Amino acid sequence: AGGFADAFSDIFGDIFGGGQRGGGRSNVYRGADLRYNLEVTLEDAARGSETRIRIPTMAECETCNGSGAKKGSEPKTCPTCAGHGQVRMQQGFFSIQQTCPKCHGTGRYIADPCTTCHGGGRVKQHKTLSVKIPSGIDEGDRIRLTGEGEPGVNGGPPGDLYVQIHLKAHAVFQRDHDDLHCEMPISFSTAALGGEIEVPTLDGVAKLKVPPETQTGKVFRLRGKGIKGVRSSSHGDLLCHVVLETPAKLTDRQKELLQEFEEISQGNAQRHSPRAQGWMDRVRDFFGS
Ligand SMILES: [Zn+2]
Ligand SMILES: [Zn+2]
């Protein structure tokens, strides 16, 4: 038994069409939209592909052909509301319409419900859909499958299914819109002397010239080796971030050579290690002031 507040919300709900409340059997509703989260590899997103998804759906019960009544019986007109789906209730000063509590607004009453669907007329099933993934699709993009959402009510149109794209993490590349980024470890002798190295791209290996005296953090841009986005007119770039690798598990001979290298470099740090020299100068100024 609701007070005034409830009575008002019921009235306004009916006037302003508050959802599916108080619906009689003649009310027609569009089915709800559904969302499906789809994980896509970077390669499939870049080149486009086609995949199949399995989604749950409510289908008409085959046992009762959707009537909800047991075989051999039929739904009857609801005795409480005489099939109107609504009943008139007296609440305080108001006489208000309410959804029939016996038939929940359908206007029909099933005395002997179907054992397969328990009177609902629908059963849960799965359907398989084919989804075309356009090339260049990105994280968060949505593909709409018209009419593949929930079925409509009382003959209303079905909703749509939105396939939401999530990119799987890639072992080599990180995507940033149309650009790709990758880390590129190089030996410190290659970094110092320069050389040609091979870098991975989405369509195979590319050669990259590393100039002498390349420092860690340097970024090389390979134009057009990124991804062509769905709404883009050209490919993005591949950005290779240089990381100098300190040599590991050194042999005695290698250590010997490095020690010798260090000894002959020490006399002229200004020339061979300008960054370290500049840093030491700043530290000295910091303590000196
Ligand atoms: Zn049934
Ligand atoms: Zn009723």
Tokens found for residue 246: 């300190």
Cβ neighbours of residue 21 under 8 Å, at least 6 residues apart? 10, 13, 14, 99
Q: 155-188: per-residue pLDDT in tens?
A: 789 999 999 999 999 999 999 999 999 999 999 8
Q: How far apart are the first and last CA of the chain?
A: 81
Cα distance between residue 185 and residue 174, in whole Å: 16
Q: How far is the CA of 81 from the centre of ligand 1 (A)?
A: 24
Asked if 232 and 161 sit in the same domain, the reply is: no
9 domain residue, yes or no: no
**80 pLDDT more than 80:** yes
My answer on whether 117 and 127 are in the same domain is yes
- Distance between Cα 69 and ligand 1 center (Å): 6
pLDDT of residue 9: 40
For residue 214, pLDDT beyond 60: yes
Q: What percent of the chain lies above the pLDDT cut of 70? A: 90
Query: Do 55 and 123 share a domain, yes or no?
Result: yes
Residues 39 and 146 in one domain: yes
Mean pLDDT of the chain: 87
Q: 101 by DSSP, 3-state: which? A: coil
Q: Which ligand has the minimum distance to the alpha carbon of residue 25?
A: 2
Do the domain assignments include residue 5? no
- pLDDT for 213 equals 95
Together in a domain, 162 and 116: yes
For the chain, the domain total comes to 3
User: How far, in Å, is the centroid of ligand 1 from the Cα of 99?
Assistant: 24
Cα separation of 174 and 42, whole Å?
A: 9
Using alpha carbons, list the distances in angstroms from residue 267 to 12, 191, 278: 89, 22, 16
ipTM of the complex model = 0.82
16 has a pLDDT exceeding 80: no
For residue 122, pLDDT over 60 is answered with yes
Give 49 Cα–ligand 1 centroid separation in angstroms: 39
Per the structure, the complete domain to which residue 105 belongs is given by: 80-109
Measured in Å, residue 76 CA sits from the centre of ligand 2 at 10
* Domain end marker among 122, 152, 169: 169
267 plus 205 within the same structural domain: yes
Closest ligand, as measured to the CA of 78:
2
Alpha carbon of 33 to ligand 2 centroid (Å): 28
Cα(48) to centroid(ligand 1), Å: 42
Ligand 2 center to residue 89 CA distance, Å? 13
Residue 12 has pLDDT above 80, yes or no: no
